[in-house]
Amino acid sequence: MEERLDIFLKSVTEYADTQCRKLERTAETQMQKEITAYKKQAAETGRSNTSREIEKIQSDAAFKAAEYASKKRRALSSLKNELAEDIFSDAELKIKDFTASDGYSDFLKRSAENLVKVIGSEIVFYLRPCDMRYSDALKEQYKNAEIRENENIHLGGIIATDKNEALRADDTLDSRFISEKKAFFESADFKVF
C-alpha cells in the first residue's frame, strides 16, 4: 500500500508539472501575439516618425507583457494552491481508506518491526486511539513492549520510544504525509516564463 501511495503522489506531481507547462506555453503564445499586433499597428500608422513610434509600442508591449506575466503568476499561484489542496485532500482520503483496509495491520506490523530494530525490544509504541485494537497483536509479537495512546497521531502509524524516552522514532502516516507535501511544494516548478 505504501508503494501505491508513493505512485499516487508521483502521478499527482507529474500532473501538476504538465499543467504548469501548458500554462507556460499559453502565456508565451499570448505575449507573442500582442507584440505582433503592436508591431503591425505601428507599420499601419505610416507616421514619419516610425522608429520612435515602434520604440513606444515596444515599450508599451513590454509593459503589457510584464503586466500579463504578473497576472498569470498570480493565477498560477492560485491554481497551484487549489490543485495542491485537491491533491492532498484526495491523498488524505486514500490514506483513511488504507487505514480501514486489511493491509493496514500488516503495515503496522512492519512498522513495529522496523522500530524495534532502531530502538530495541524495550520499547513503547504509541498508536492513535482508534488503532488501539491492534495493541494485543503488537503486545503478543513484542512481549517487552508497552502500548500507549497518542491523540496527536491523526492519520495512523506508530511513534516509538525506548522505556526511558531517550530515543524516539516516528513512523506515522502523518509524518510521511507532511514530508510528501513539503517535497511536493519544493519540487513543483510553477514558473510562467
Which CATH number is 104-177's, of 3.60.150.10, 3.30.70.270, 3.30.2320.30, 3.40.50.360?
3.30.2320.30
> The cell 502500548 sits on which residue?
147
Report which of 13, 141, 26 is spatially closest to residue 72, judged by C-alpha positions. Answer: 26
> The cell 501511495 sits on which residue?
5
- Range of 24-33, 63-72, 132-141 with top mean pLDDT: 132-141
Residue extents of the structural domains in the chain: 2-100, 104-177
Q: Read off the pLDDT of residues 56-92 as tens digits, 9 standing for 90 and up.
A: 888 887 888 888 888 888 887 787 778 878 888 898 9
Task: Quote the pLDDT of residue 126.
Answer: 98
SS3 (DSSP) at 148: strand
> The cell 495512523 sits on which residue?
156
d(CA 20, CA 26): 10
| E strand or H helix that includes residue 159 | strand 157-162
Round to the nearest angstrom and report the end-to-end CA distance of the chain: 38
Mean pLDDT of 108-127: 94
d(CA 99, CA 3): 15
| E strand or H helix that includes residue 30 | helix 2-45
Residue 110 CA to its chain's centroid (Å): 25
Q: Which is higher by pLDDT, 21 or 115?
A: 115
Q: Read off the pLDDT of residues 161-193 as tens digits, 9 standing for 90 and up.
A: 999 989 999 999 999 999 988 888 777 664 443
Task: Quote the pLDDT of residue 52.
Answer: 78
Task: Quote the pLDDT of residue 193.
Answer: 39
Task: Quote the pLDDT of residue 6.
Answer: 61
Question: Is the confidence at residue 127, as pLDDT, over 90?
Answer: yes
Phi, psi at 190, each rounded to 5° = -110, 50
